[in-house]
A = this chain, B = another copy of it.
């Protein structure tokens, strides 16, 4: 139950980030809703298609779609009167990433995937929606260019899998993994940590 609420929190945060991207790209109302939806459920949809899990998670549960609509409406109202709370959104986004990455890894684990595929599926669940958002906005996806993002997801999923291998209960393993993701991500923002960039000799 707590997990489900956390999951919808992740959906709401990612929907808001998609809606803000849509406003910045001067999309119309429906375009904003579409971009919010794809950002919020795109990663989990790719995961379900790749793992052959049908029906896709938002098809048999209305929760995600209503959450997206509510979050988008709230975002549109907010920006009419108040400035975008950039810092709060970054923190909320880190929590959303943490929840999505570890719950995506759990889904892959239950489907019997090997650890490396489980890491990939969790990372995809956490960051796939943001990649689709940027592709639809005709931008090079931010998470491919930017500071520690998918990296934080990978680190947290590794912690989750190690905890599970050490017979830690699912709930505690989840907590350890999610805290690692969010902590790594927030530390990267606070201290401006980046992965190395490479140049070719000419």
Q: Which A residues are closer than 8 A to B by beta carbons?
A: 20, 22-32, 34-35, 45, 49-52, 54-56, 58-59, 62, 65, 76, 79-84, 113-114, 116-117, 120, 131, 135-141, 143-147, 150-151, 154, 194-202
Contact = CB atoms under 8 A, between A and B. Distances in A.
B150 A29 contact: no
Given A50-B49, A52-B54, A201 B65 contact: no
A23 B100 CA distance: 28
Given A34-B150, A136-B131, A138-B139, A27 B144 contact: yes
Copies in the complex: 3
Question: Lowest 8 A-B CB distances belong to which pairs?
Answer: A31-B144, A28-B195, A79-B200, A52-B54, A29-B195, A138-B140, A27-B144, A23-B198
Nearest to A144: B31
Contacts of A32: 198
Q: Which of A31, A81, A116 has the most CB of B within 10 A?
A: A31
Given A28-B144, A32-B198, A138-B139, 15 more contacts: A23-B200, A26-B197, A27-B145, A28-B146, A28-B147, A29-B196, A29-B198, A49-B49, A51-B55, A59-B113, A59-B117, A83-B202, A84-B200, A135-B135, A136-B140
